[in-house]
Chain A
Amino acid sequence: MAPGSAVWLALGLAVAAWTVIEIVRRRSAAIPGRLVGWLVGSWLGRIVMLGVWAEVGWHLFTQRP
């Protein structure tokens, strides 16, 4: 495994583990959800988020990543 891939694996496991810990504590990963909910609370935040979403989709599905 390439060294960079090992780091990604560790990061992925850390995010997954923390998400599971949050869900087990019955907060159901509420903090990221509340952050996104706050971001879409105004036109400005919503349009910025939609712009990021559009760019991610265009990159992943039409360009070779």
Chain B
Amino acid sequence: VSRLTVVTAGDGIAIRALGDTAVLVELGTAIDIETNRRVFALAGGLQALAIDGVRDVVPAYASVAVHYDPSRLGRETVVDMVRALLRQPVPSLSDTQPAVDVPVCYDPSLGPDLLSVASATDRTVAEVAAIHAGAVYRVFMLGFLPGFAYMGVVDSRIAVPRHPTPRARVAAGSVGIAGSQTGVYPRDSPGGWQIIGRTPLCLFDPARTPAAVLSPGGSVRFVPITRHEFDAAAPRGGA
């Protein structure tokens, strides 16, 4: 007896119930750009349809959740919509949005793990900063906190693992590395990522449209700035 009510949709895609109010579409089981582009295309397609009864569409690394109101929409209808969208071609790379520039001050006074990351990877602070700022990153998904973007792929030369025990407080704007992922803390919070710098940018403000600076499927470039530039831009007054 199949308890999981899994519907396969070819290409190793599985569609299954996520409880009685959501459907989970799994497009893969790994973090890779090709899978994530299909995630983004499916989530975008579902959001564009703006179906009555769909309460939320949530893209993750390799899966999409569709939260629905069972009083207005049956699970079979949701599954049918997903299957129809999966048959459509994924937009080519040229359709993606331009990269967002995120200014970062790579200074040990703002990046408490910068010196230890440099020594662990046998590089200078300047080299760590140059490698981190030298790539264009993809926003795989948002989560953890409003506006927190999980981005990749971090150059293997500086891909240090997260702290075994999270810090009690990481400052808003902190830029961190966790293995092949990089991210920016939108507000003060506990956190375990290796903090190598800080941005003066406010990444999430519910009063602004859009509220989040970064969005799933987008791309990001980190632009190094000096401590002086950081202080001039940061309304919080820095460290």
Interaction A to B:
no
Which residues on B are within 8 Å of A, measured CB to CB? none
